[in-house]
């Protein structure tokens, strides 16, 4: 295996409405400008809210497949605690995991039919060397708007990346409406330092 | 210039670069954005048609008039458009005609997994299949060239993974747009009565043979000889998966999947030891390669169903699972997609669930109402099926007691429900049809349709009046209800179930997303913690804005228990709630109230 081995895969997962697709779009633009070939792909539910959502960003000198195989994800960025566990087949012993330690209950939990699984963080820490957990939604709220949790998560992801911090911020600035830029840069910094 | 583009954006861009000026489509995931993106380019005409058949007929007309036209649809849309499709293959096109079809392996947003390549063979129409966004941009242009050169409609096939993944595209300058030169009379070519069709039938066979010869030198069919021990014939997105899984292998990548270049395939076969065909869904290429008498490994190891990825292919060939870590996990509750907070469908389907009617359903966001806790929808076959099925069910149930409704969205009703409603009148049906009229094509991302009074390119137009349409067809019982009002909706449905003759109930309230776009959301609701008894009545509508929290999960101060058995309370997320009030109508203790400013 030559080129394809050097492909880096970031998998964003969470619940519809959390800004996962946008986070994937922003990372794709960043890595393209950093000089990589990139493919970005997403799976979103039929309706607009509540279902599982995932977005893959793969970059390297040459990327063929927009989808990784199982075991091939380098960094899992999960926007909801339990959702992290749905994608462990895609990870390997060296994968890094970034988790928004926040819960969104699915309908069956609200109805009292099933428990929300506990010990999620313990499972993650047992199997993966680098687990970064942060309260991204709460941090976003402090930064001015809880909908910026995706920006906080991008900040946290950026701290694992060798790509220049300035480039992350440059793309963020361009991707956002002007009046939201300042708050989002604050949210990004909070995530990066977390 | 390099740009990150989805496959859909790239198809639109390529058509624009080629000077195409006409596109017609009905929205359908994953194809919708192609027409939407195309409509925004300078100097083009693009429209939403009521359905795919009408879109294709309009595109055929534009091509007959000498223009370059495309009809765009999802895979099941081709079923609707199949009637004109099979015969325009006979007439040829005069101008350029491309049918863009987006398949959905894994059924991310579809009711079946049909493989459109079968249509290309069946209707004897050439088909191109790009593997990434830049190829999509180039192949739509090649498809138009092929159409004019061979006087044939041409398919461009995408899949969800191509349509909805982004990769780097190199943009070209657009060339001059080609205006339609005008229709030319030619009965022998365009009037497909039997005598003429027999003549054209022969032309079709010759044309496919000619295109087969052309395929041998077609620039999209490429041989890459690396290690000769493993040879792979593949096409489209599967090429990428195979290339990553087996980077050392030799490849024959087919850019044209119908017809196949037989000489090229034989030549490639001679240069490799073991030959594989890697294709998602049906063994379309494999069966033809076998029919050439060539030994090949295919569907005996690669799956028929679902999308591939590199790991799936490695596992199929080596037998080794790509999974590296297998932690012991607790049971994970499912997280199915849900209707949005404030969705007007929620009230209507709550009522259906409670009345325990059989709701013959249709294709739209509301199909999700089959799930717990609503359980208000009982079948889903295809666009428009609800109305015809409700009629058939009520006719077949001779006991005279009518407990069936057909329920269909506004856009879907226009797509293929109107003639079925007419059928109910004509055949003296006793059934009830409910149109969930949320004033948009919601599921595909809120496209306009003939009922909204606005065209794809934003021009005002006449809006279809459902009430007048139904009355003019002879439906005497027509009424409009607000589906967010549970009592009104329940009574209307009960009345109409008891009424003689066909009934139409229009459950009208705008899509919650349309409302938030227009800034019309009502103020959010909240639960008064001291009043809530934790009875879960509000949870029974499955609204994503409402969750149920145990006392120990709540912030201080913890409210007092109202009953001995109470374990928690409902909580409404004010950022999600848009104040539709369906939950508050169910609360027996009036604990759900508008958020006060000081909260």
- Tens digits of residue pLDDT in B20-47: 999 999 999 999 999 999 999 999 999 9
Among chain A residues, CA nearest to B540: A111
Q: In what order do the strands lie in the sheet with B358-360?
A: B358-360, B404-409, B432-437, B503-508, B477-481
* Within a domain: B328: no
B:472-531 residues touching chain A, CB 8 A cutoff? 513
B436 with B408: CB under 8 angstroms?
A: yes
Q: What is the CATH number of the domain that holds B355?
A: 3.40.50.970
CB contact under 8 A, A118 and B544: no
Average pLDDT over residues A6-33: 94
What domain range is B422 assigned to?
Answer: 345-517
Domain boundary among B198, B215, B232: B215
Looking at CATH, the fold of the domain delimited by A3-104+122-193 is given as Pyruvate-ferredoxin Oxidoreductase; domain 3 (3.40.920)
CB contact under 8 A, B340 and A67: no
> Do B180 and B240 share a domain, yes or no?
no
What's residue A5's pLDDT? 54
Query: Is it the case that residue B176 has pLDDT exceeding 60?
Result: yes
Q: Position of tokens 């929620």?
A: B346
Chain A residues lying within 8 Å of B540, measured CB to CB: 111
> Do B563 and B529 share a domain, yes or no?
yes
> Do B9 and B149 share a domain, yes or no?
yes
* Within a domain: B334: no
Which range has the worst mean pLDDT, A15-19, B224-228, B365-369? A15-19
pLDDT bin (cut points 50, 70, 90) of residue B520 is: low
SS3 for B105? coil
> Do B201 and B226 share a domain, yes or no?
no
* Within a domain: B149: yes
User: Is B306 in the A-facing interface, judged by CB distances under 8 Å?
Assistant: no
Which range has the worst mean pLDDT, B66-80, B329-343, B372-386? B329-343
CB contact under 8 A, B322 and A69: yes
CA dihedral of residues A70, A75, A77, A82 (deg, nearest 10): 50
Query: Is it the case that residue B324 has pLDDT exceeding 90?
Result: yes
Chain B residues lying within 8 Å of A28, measured CB to CB: 4, 166
Please state, in angstroms and rounded to a whole number, the distance separating the CA atoms of residues B374 and B120: 41
Chain A residues lying within 8 Å of B443, measured CB to CB: 46-47
Among chain B residues, CA nearest to A115: B333
Name which of A1, A25, A2, A3 is nearest A12 in CA terms: A25
> Do B208 and B231 share a domain, yes or no?
no
Average pLDDT over residues B203-221: 98
pLDDT bin (cut points 50, 70, 90) of residue B167 is: very high
CB contact under 8 A, B367 and A46: yes
Query: Is it the case that residue B205 has pLDDT exceeding 60?
Result: yes
> Do B194 and B239 share a domain, yes or no?
no
B117 with B72: CB under 8 angstroms?
A: no
Q: B577: alpha, beta or left, given left = phi > 0 and alpha = psi -120 to 50?
A: beta
pLDDT bin (cut points 50, 70, 90) of residue B215 is: very high
Query: For B334-384, where are the alpha helices, taking DSSP H only?
Result: 345-355
User: Is B593 in the A-facing interface, judged by CB distances under 8 Å?
Assistant: no
> Do B285 and B172 share a domain, yes or no?
no
Chain B residues lying within 8 Å of A1, measured CB to CB: 247-248
Chain A residues lying within 8 Å of B29, measured CB to CB: 46
B293 C-beta neighbours (distance < 10 Å), count: 7
Strand positions, DSSP E, B115-226: 127-128, 154-159, 165-170, 222-224
> Do B510 and B539 share a domain, yes or no?
no
Average pLDDT over residues B291-316: 98
B274 with B250: CB under 8 angstroms?
A: no
Å between A192 CA and nearest CA of chain B: 25
> Do B303 and B422 share a domain, yes or no?
no
CB-count exposure of residue B24 (10 Å: 0-12, 13-18, 19+): buried
Average pLDDT over residues B369-373: 93
Give backbone dihedrals phi and psi of B223, rounded to 5 degrees, phi first: -105, 130
Please state, in angstroms and rounded to a whole number, the distance separating the CA atoms of residues B196 and B177: 33
Domain boundary among B449, B484, B517: B517
Please state, in angstroms and rounded to a whole number, the distance separating the CA atoms of residues B203 and A150: 58
Domain boundary among B318, B334, B355: B318
Query: Is it the case that residue B443 has pLDDT exceeding 80?
Result: yes
User: Is B573 in the A-facing interface, judged by CB distances under 8 Å?
Assistant: no
Average pLDDT over residues A173-190: 96
CB contact under 8 A, B307 and A67: yes
- Give the closest of A37, A111, A115 to B168, CB-based: A37
CB contact under 8 A, A110 and B132: no
DSSP string, B289-333: HHHTT---B-TTTS-SSS---HHHHHHHHH-----------PPPP
What's residue B597's pLDDT? 64
Query: Is it the case that residue B261 has pLDDT exceeding 90?
Result: yes
Q: What percentage of chain B exceeds 90 in pLDDT?
A: 92
Query: Is it the case that residue B448 has pLDDT exceeding 80?
Result: yes
Instruction: Report how far apart the first and last C-alpha atoms of chain A are (Å, whole number).
Output: 36
Q: What is the 8-class DSSP label of residue B428?
A: T
> Do B494 and B512 share a domain, yes or no?
yes
- What would the pLDDT profile of A107-137 be if each residue is shown by its tens digit? 889 888 899 998 999 999 999 989 999 999 9
Q: What is the CATH number of the domain that holds B247?
A: 3.40.50.920
Å between A76 CA and nearest CA of chain B: 14
Query: Is it the case that residue B521 has pLDDT exceeding 50?
Result: yes
Query: Is it the case that residue B598 has pLDDT exceeding 70?
Result: no
Average pLDDT over residues B10-20: 98
- What would the pLDDT profile of A55-112 be if each residue is shown by its tens digit? 999 999 999 999 999 999 999 999 999 999 999 999 999 999 999 999 999 888 988 8
Among chain B residues, CA nearest to A28: B4
Query: Is it the case that residue B234 has pLDDT exceeding 50?
Result: yes
What's residue B479's pLDDT? 97
* Within a domain: B468: yes
- Give the closest of A86, A91, A105 to B332, CB-based: A86
Query: How big is the A-B interface in CB pairs under 8 Å?
Result: 190
For A122, the enclosing helix (H) or strand (E) is: helix A120-127
| Top mean-pLDDT range of A50-54, B326-330, B513-517 | B326-330
B202 C-beta neighbours (distance < 10 Å), count: 9
What's residue B576's pLDDT? 87
- Give the closest of A39, A52, A126 to B166, CB-based: A39
What's residue A142's pLDDT? 95
CA dihedral of residues B301, B304, B305, B311 (deg, nearest 10): 30
Domains in chain B, number = 4
Chain B residues lying within 8 Å of A115, measured CB to CB: 333
B445 C-beta neighbours (distance < 10 Å), count: 14
What's residue B522's pLDDT? 78
- What would the pLDDT profile of B526-580 be if each residue is shown by its tens digit? 999 999 999 999 999 999 999 999 999 898 889 999 999 999 999 999 888 999 9
Please state, in angstroms and rounded to a whole number, the distance separating the CA atoms of residues B111 and B443: 14
Query: Is it the case that residue B212 has pLDDT exceeding 80?
Result: yes
For the packed helices B385-396 and B418-426, what is the interaxial angle rounded to 10 degrees? 20
pLDDT bin (cut points 50, 70, 90) of residue B599 is: very low
Sign of CA dihedral A166, A168, A169, A173: positive
Give backbone dihedrals phi and psi of B454, rounded to 5 degrees, phi first: -135, 140
pLDDT bin (cut points 50, 70, 90) of residue A3 is: very low
What are the residues whose beta carbons fall under 8 Å from the beta carbon of B260, sequence distance 6 or more? B212, B215, B254, B285, B288, B289
B486 alpha carbon, distance to own chain's centre: 30
> Do B367 and B454 share a domain, yes or no?
yes
What are the residues whose beta carbons fall under 8 Å from the beta carbon of A28, sequence distance 6 or more? A38, A40, A57, A59, B4, B166
Query: Is it the case that residue B73 has pLDDT exceeding 70?
Result: yes
| ipTM of this complex | 0.94
Query: Is it the case that residue A4 has pLDDT exceeding 80?
Result: no
Please state, in angstroms and rounded to a whole number, the distance separating the CA atoms of residues B119 and B471: 39
Query: Is it the case that residue B420 has pLDDT exceeding 90?
Result: yes
Å between A169 CA and nearest CA of chain B: 18
* Within a domain: B135: yes
CB contact under 8 A, B166 and A25: yes
**R_g of chain A, CA atoms, integer Å:** 16
What integer best gives the mean pLDDT of chain B? 95
- What would the pLDDT profile of B118-161 be if each residue is shown by its tens digit? 999 999 999 999 999 999 999 999 999 999 999 999 999 999 99
Instruction: Output the six-digit token pair for B30.
Output: 């994953």
Name which of B472, B434, B441 is nearest B456 in CA terms: B441
Which range has the worst mean pLDDT, A32-46, B189-203, B282-296? A32-46
Please state, in angstroms and rounded to a whole number, the distance separating the CA atoms of residues A121 and B332: 14
What's residue B402's pLDDT? 74
> Do B125 and B16 share a domain, yes or no?
yes
């Amino acid at each position: 295996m030559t080129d394809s081995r050097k492909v880096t895969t970031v998998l964003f997962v969470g619940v519809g409405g959390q800004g996962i697709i946008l986070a994937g779009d922003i990372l794709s633009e960043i890595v393209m400008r950093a000089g990589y070939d990139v493919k970005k792909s997403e799976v979103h539910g039929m309706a607009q809210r509540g279902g599982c959502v995932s977005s893959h960003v793969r970059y390297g000198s040459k990327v063929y497949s927009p989808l990784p195989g199982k075991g091939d994800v380098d960094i899992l960025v999960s926007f909801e605690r339990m959702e992290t566990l749905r994608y462990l087949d895609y990870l390997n012993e060296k994968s890094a995991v970034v988790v928004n330690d926040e819960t969104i209950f699915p309908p069956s939990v609200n109805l009292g039919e099933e428990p929300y699984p506990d010990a999620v963080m313990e499972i993650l820490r047992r199997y993966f060397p680098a687990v970064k957990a942060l309260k991204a939604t709460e941090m976003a709220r402090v930064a001015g708007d809880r909908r910026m949790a995706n920006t906080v998560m991008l900040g946290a992801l950026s701290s694992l990346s060798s790509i220049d911090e300035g480039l992350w911020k440059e793309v963020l600035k361009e991707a956002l409406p002007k009046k939201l830029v300042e708050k989002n840069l604050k949210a990004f910094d909070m995530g990066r330092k977390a | 210039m390099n740009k990150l583009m989805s496959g859909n954006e790239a198809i639109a861009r390529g058509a624009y670069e080629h000077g195409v000026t006409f596109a017609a489509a009905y929205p359908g995931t994953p194809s919708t954005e192609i027409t939407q993106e195309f409509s925004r380019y300078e100097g083009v005409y693009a429209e939403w048609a009521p359905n795919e058949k009408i879109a294709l007929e309009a595109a055929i007309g534009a091509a007959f008039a000498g223009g370059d036209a495309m009809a765009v649809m999802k895979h099941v849309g081709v079923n609707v458009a199949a009637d004109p499709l099979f015969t325009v293959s006979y007439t040829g096109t005069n101008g350029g005609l491309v049918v863009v079809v987006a398949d959905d392996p894994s059924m991310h947003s579809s009711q079946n997994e049909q493989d459109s390549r079968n249509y290309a063979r069946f209707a004897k129409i050439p088909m191109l299949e790009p593997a990434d966004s830049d190829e999509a941009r180039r192949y739509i242009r090649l498809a138009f060239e092929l159409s004019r050169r061979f006087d044939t409609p041409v398919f461009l096939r995408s899949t969800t993974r191509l349509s909805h993944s982004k990769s780097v595209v190199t943009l070209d300058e657009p060339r001059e747009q080609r205006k339609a030169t005008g229709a030319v009379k030619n009965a022998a070519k365009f009037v497909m009565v039997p005598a003429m069709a027999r003549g054209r039938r022969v032309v079709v066979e010759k044309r496919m043979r000619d295109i087969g010869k052309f395929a041998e030198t077609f620039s999209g069919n490429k041989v890459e000889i690396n290690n000769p021990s493993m040879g792979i014939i593949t096409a489209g997105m599967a090429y990428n998966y195979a290339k990553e899984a087996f980077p050392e292998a030799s490849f024959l990548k087919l850019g044209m999947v119908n017809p196949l270049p037989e000489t090229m395939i034989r030549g490639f076969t001679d240069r490799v030891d073991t030959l594989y065909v890697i294709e998602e869904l049906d063994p379309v290429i494999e069966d033809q390669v076998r029919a050439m008498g060539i030994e090949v490994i295919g569907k005996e190891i690669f799956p028929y169903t679902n999308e591939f990825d590199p790991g799936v292919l490695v596992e199929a060939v080596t037998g080794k699972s790509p999974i590296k870590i297998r932690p012991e996990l607790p049971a994970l509750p499912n997280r199915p997609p849900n209707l949005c907070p404030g969705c007007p469908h929620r009230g209507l389907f709550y009522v259906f669930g409670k009345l325990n009617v059989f709701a013959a359903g249709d294709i739209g966001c509301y199909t999700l109402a089959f799930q717990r806790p609503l359980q208000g929808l009982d079948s889903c076959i295809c666009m428009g099926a609800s109305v015809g099925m409700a009629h058939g069910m009520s006719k077949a149930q001779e006991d005279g007691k009518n407990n069936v409704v057909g329920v269909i969205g506004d856009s879907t009703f226009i797509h293929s429900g109107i003639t079925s409603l007419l059928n109910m009148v004509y055949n003296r049906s006793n059934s009830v049809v409910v149109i969930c009229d949320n004033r948009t094509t919601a599921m595909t991302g809120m496209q306009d349709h003939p009922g909204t009074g606005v065209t794809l390119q934003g021009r005002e137009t006449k809006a279809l009046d459902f009430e007048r349409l139904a009355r003019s067809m002879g439906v005497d019982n027509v009424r409009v209800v607000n589906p967010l009002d549970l009592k009104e909706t329940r009574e209307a449905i009960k009345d109409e179930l008891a009424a003689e003759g066909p009934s139409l109930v229009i459950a009208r309230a705008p899509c919650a997303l349309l409302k938030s776009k227009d800034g019309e959301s009502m103020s959010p609701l909240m639960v008064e913690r001291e009043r809530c008894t934790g009875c879960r009545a509000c949870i029974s509508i499955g609204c994503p804005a409402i969750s149920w929290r145990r006392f120990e999960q709540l912030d201080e101060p913890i409210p007092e228990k109202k009953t001995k058995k109470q374990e928690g309370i409902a909580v409404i997320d004010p950022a999600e709630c848009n104040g539709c009030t369906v939950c508050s109508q169910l609360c027996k203790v009036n604990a759900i109230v508008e958020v006060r400013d000081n909260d």
